[in-house]
Chain A
Amino acid sequence: MSADGTTRPPHARHRLDDVLHAPVRFSIAATLAGVDEAEFALVRDEVEVSDSVLSKQVSALEQAGYVKVRKGYVGKRPRTWLSLTRAGRDAWQAHLAALRDIAGA
């Protein structure tokens, strides 16, 4: 409640998603937002992190229900594909909306 007695909406920073706020996870989500599915190696190259760092951050996103991990083969070579879940896309859009509000403040 403000001084004049009206209820103000919470500041946009309270709507930022803690899971997506971390810089590496933000970059992973940004890369995956533009695709239906991407290979692990492509995300690693674009986010510019090591396999182990990406693996750890993807696990955090997976635990939050934001990223789906699929394993398979191309020929005889094993491949891992990453994609945003519906919940992950919703969270990403909400996070971007909060950023836009902050940017416009």
Chain B
Amino acid sequence: MNDLTPQQARERLAHAEAATGRRDAERRVHAWATAGFGAAMGAYLSLSRATDDTPFEQPVLVAYTLAIVGLATWQTRASRAWPRHARRAGYVGLGVTFGLFLVAVIGLNIREAEQKMDGLAPSENPWLLALAGVVVAAPMLLAAVRIRRGDPR
């Protein structure tokens, strides 16, 4: 028989609320990891274009790979749970960031091709590269904020 007094029901509700809301440490880990992935992708876009055909091209790629692998490993080991909706927020952020990354690469390639057709030496405006990096990173940084705050959707 499921007999409960109103007081017992209130105690159970309080217990449920406390248990459900106890996810701050996991939110912090996933938020930092998501922000890190976004920052790494944005930085890689900018730096890989800026160091194109220079001796720094390979080190940038190696640093990017190490950053991504390191973040993924840390995220997996530091957290024992995915807070509610955090995974979806992270994947949506990653998807949009990845899409913007491709758009930025295509846009910068078109710009480079136009410079060549005009008989100019291909060169990238550092401010444009920095802006592209920030735009690429932005969706994952926003996702990180949502994960940290624990937005319901």
Asked if A16 is at the interface (CB within 8 A of a chain B CB), the reply is yes
Asked if B20 is at the interface (CB within 8 A of a chain A CB), the reply is yes
Contact flags B1-31 to A (C-beta < 8 A → 1, else 0):
0111110011011011001111100100000
Q: Are B2 and A39 in contact (CB under 8 A)?
A: no
Asked if A102 is at the interface (CB within 8 A of a chain B CB), the reply is yes
Count contacts on A: residues with CB < 8 A to the other chain: 28
Q: Are B6 and A46 in contact (CB under 8 A)?
A: no
Residues of B within 8 A of A42 (CB): 80-81
Contact with B4, one of A16, A30, A46, A104 (Cβ below 8 angstroms): A16
Asked if A85 is at the interface (CB within 8 A of a chain B CB), the reply is no
Interface size class, chain B? 20 to 34
Q: Are B13 and A34 in contact (CB under 8 A)?
A: no
Residue of A nearest to B85 (CB): A36
Q: Are A34 and B83 in contact (CB under 8 A)?
A: yes
Given A16-B4, A35-B23, A103-B10, output 19 extra A-B contacts at Cβ < 8 Å. A30-B15, A30-B19, A30-B20, A31-B19, A33-B84, A34-B20, A34-B21, A35-B84, A36-B84, A36-B85, A37-B82, A38-B80, A38-B82, A74-B76, A99-B4, A99-B13, A102-B4, A103-B9, A104-B6
Listed by A's residue number, 21 A-B pairs whose Cβ atoms lie within 8 Å are A16-B4, A21-B2, A26-B15, A30-B20, A31-B19, A33-B19, A33-B84, A35-B26, A35-B81, A38-B80, A42-B80, A46-B22, A75-B77, A96-B16, A99-B12, A102-B4, A102-B5, A102-B6, A103-B6, A103-B9, A105-B6
